[in-house]
Amino acid sequence: MNETSRRVAVFGGSGFIGTVLAEHLTRAGHQALILTRSRERARDVWLLPAAHCVEYDPGDAAALAAALAGCDAAVNLVGILNEKGDDGSGYRRVHVDLSRSVIDACGTAGVTRYLHMSALKAAPVATSHYQRTKGEAEMLVRGSGLEWTIFRPSLVFGPGDGLLNRFEALTRFAPVLPLACAQTRFQPVYVGDVAAAFVRALDDRRSIGQSYDLGGPAVMTLAELLDKLLTTLGRRRLVLPLGLTASRLQAEMFEHLPGKPFSRDNFRAASEDAVVTGENGFERLGIVPVAIDGMIARCLGRGGERQRYDELRRHAGR
């Protein structure tokens, strides 16, 4: 471990972004304490050097504070894309209530450095429950008294993501693809760049009290993103862009399918562009973001979880 090594607690460290962040933290010489409700779900980080997994109960305040004992910083990545029902209570429980619990636990444990994952367009007055509760959580963070930094990425892509891989599965058999919110614009962000932003900001005192909107180098519509995926796969499919009314109807139908592939709240969130309008946070942090072009094949696996597992093994030297 180097002289600037820190012990960093990562809530949500077993998820898509969390496993990549854990790898980046250990590569930078830090210790990563992965806090998860199920250690089995954190298998992807078991092989990482200087990473340790601990199960915790989100409702146990004393256990949360105890888990943070001895840590120099805490990262909160916990989030959900869908909830049971459609009243916002599931989002609020995860995005707001858990954030409050983590912030309180930091205060009890004496952890002053806090990095928080939010989302582009998050706001307490947003239309979607997802964006609204993310915005409410940001308000908690800003008023916490901690040395906070907030990250607000656009659509995050990478190996094992929930968008490109879901689209790939849909295009495998369906000859016609009705696409909701086809003209909504995004600025796809590579997961490794998001992780790099967290690590870069961790020891940079200038990032304290700052919020970073993160967008990739290219702005594209959802239809354009799907076209890039189909081109990469060498598949020809008929894509039918849906208007606002048809998109809403699709959300109403898909709301009741297993796994909620596209919910009412997804529709509300996807009805607005997720594009950086001010200065890009990557520029402020000195990071050149990776374009999605040329990365799609890797993100779709072409080796999938096995490839990711092998990468971690090489990093661990095993």
**In Å, how far are 75, 141, 193, 263 from 223, measured between CA atoms?**
33, 35, 24, 18
- φ and ψ at residue 147, rounded to 5 degrees: -85, 85
For the domain made up of 7-156+189-215+277-288+303-316, the CATH class stated in words is alpha beta
From CA 235, how far away is CA 239, in angstroms rounded? 12
- Which H or E run contains 115? strand 113-117
CB–CB of 80/91 below 8 Å?
Answer: yes
Q: What is the pLDDT of residues 101-148, one digit of tens each?
A: 999 999 999 999 999 999 999 999 999 999 999 999 999 999 999 999
Question: What per-residue confidence (pLDDT) applies to 3?
Answer: 52
205-223 as b/e: b if 16+ CB within 10 A: eebeeebbbbbbbebbbbb
Q: Which two tokens stand for residue 102?
A: 């983590």
Give Dmax over CA atoms of the chain in angstroms. Answer: 58
pTM: 0.92
Question: What per-residue confidence (pLDDT) applies to 306?
Answer: 42
CB–CB of 235/100 below 8 Å?
Answer: no
**Three-state SS letters, 121-172:** CCCCCCCCHHHHHHHHHHHHHHCCCCEEEEEEECCEECCCCCCHHHHHHHHH
CB–CB of 226/282 below 8 Å?
Answer: no
Amino acid at 68: L
Write the CB contacts of 173 (distance below 8 Å, at least 6 apart in sequence): none
- Low-confidence spans in the chain with pLDDT less than 50: 1-2, 302-318
